[in-house]
Amino acid sequence: MRYSNIVHRLDGSGYHAWDVHGKGKAMLAQGADVILLTIGDPDFATPQPIVETAVASLRQGRTHYTPSLGEMPLRTAIAAHHQQISGQATAKENVAVVAGAQCGLYVAAMAVLQAGDEVILPEPVYSTYEPVVGATGATPVYVKLRPELGFHFDPAEMAAAITPRTRAILINTPHNPTGAMLHPEELEALADLSTRHDLWVISDEVYSNFIYTRPHLSPANIPALAERSIVISSLSKSHAMTGWRLGWTIAPAELTEHIGNLLAAMLFGQPPFIQDAALHALTHELDEAKAMGDAYRARRDLVCAALNAAGDVGCYEPEGGMYVLVDVRKTGMSSYDFGHALLEAEQVALLPGEAFGTTLAGYLRLSLTVPEATLAEACQRIQRFAASLAR
């Protein structure tokens, strides 16, 4: 049987690095004492008021079709939320409700990219970005985020990567996996490059609730960029709602209409009881949500202090997000080999940096999604393994 060419373009080059995750899960299922720190799924429960809102909505019969772009109360609440954090006027006409940020990335890419286009991706790059771009037929062009620059892009290198075929720049802030956040000079460079070359800026901001060293900046903060930006976010991380699949895009009204047509062909509207739960999350100050942010900060501090005190490994201190990069370059091992050997020797599963590109060949991503005591134990095991390599 024959398949469409798209099936090959959906196969991301970094997927093999997830082998450590799969092996760790299998060992855990067999009863091994594995500390799984590979995936960004919060260990917190969804706040109970959100759950109760969904349950009440179900009991009220809210189980039928909804508009493709989302129901008006939720779109209005998302617009108000975005306007508060960006400072730019935002209306419900700018909002599309989608099945999580991953769906938002897909519909944004499908709406503005096509075969023959080029898309600039800062690398390290989250593993699904490459297949999303590939699905459109466009070609990714990578600009490295170098460790010596704190994993921030060099505006000159970004400018040099632009060609007549460039259609968009796809950014992620706070960045997964490095935790680097967009700085003012980078934002100004994006504004200059996108306006001069008539480019879209697609901005994945799903980790914007977890910031540690500086305010969150978005392309939407600059009016000239807001007119050519697609901002994507969700409740998955901020409210521990990964399985609820509720996110959104913020874009110019005309583009949002096109996204609505695509959503009609894909999803035909998000479940109304989930939209009711999301509306509650966005319109109420929940102590549980704040506690999550405080917990991630404390976990980040614990891991960085523990690993940077060791001589054989270290870590890069993130500005935001829910991950820490573990630096194993001194061991002389690739992150892929280190990850597999660490899992065998000490039963700690970290995600090899190769999942995100060659820039992270000597790094592994540690997810801050377990309690502090478990993280402390994981750090001890990592230090013990690195010391055994030195011996």
Q: What is the pLDDT of residues 257-290, one digit of tens each?
A: 999 999 999 999 999 999 999 999 999 999 999 9
Nearest residue to 239 (alpha-carbon basis) of 45, 38, 104 = 45
- To the nearest 10°, the Cα dihedral for 3, 4, 6, 12? 10
Residue in this structure with the two tokens 């976010």, named with its chain if needed: 233
pLDDT score recorded for residue 13: 58
> pTM of the predicted model, to two decimals?
0.94
Q: What is the pLDDT of residues 332-351, one digit of tens each?
A: 898 999 999 999 999 999 99
Nearest residue to 271 (alpha-carbon basis) of 63, 78, 103, 76 = 63
Q: What is the pLDDT of residues 184-227, one digit of tens each?
A: 999 999 999 999 999 999 999 999 999 999 899 999 899 889 89
Q: What is the pLDDT of residues 96-110, one digit of tens each?
A: 999 999 999 999 999
3-state secondary structure 259-326: HHHHHHHHCCCCCHHHHHHHHHHHHCCCHHHHHHHHHHHHHHHHHHHHHHCCCCCEEECCCECCEEEE
Arithmetic mean of pLDDT over the chain: 94
User: Which amino acid makes up residue 278?
Assistant: A
Cα 339 to Cα 363: distance, rounded to the nearest angstrom: 10
* DSSP code for 156: H
All structural domains of the chain: 6-45+288-390 (3.90.1150.10), 64-283 (3.40.640.10)
Residue 336: CB atoms within 10 A of its CB come to 18
How many CA atoms within 13 Å lie on the side-chain side of 18? 12
Judge whether 47 and 286 are in contact, CB under 8 Å.
yes
- To the nearest 10°, the Cα dihedral for 62, 64, 69, 70? 0
Query: Could you say which residues of the chain have pLDDT below 70?
Result: 12-17
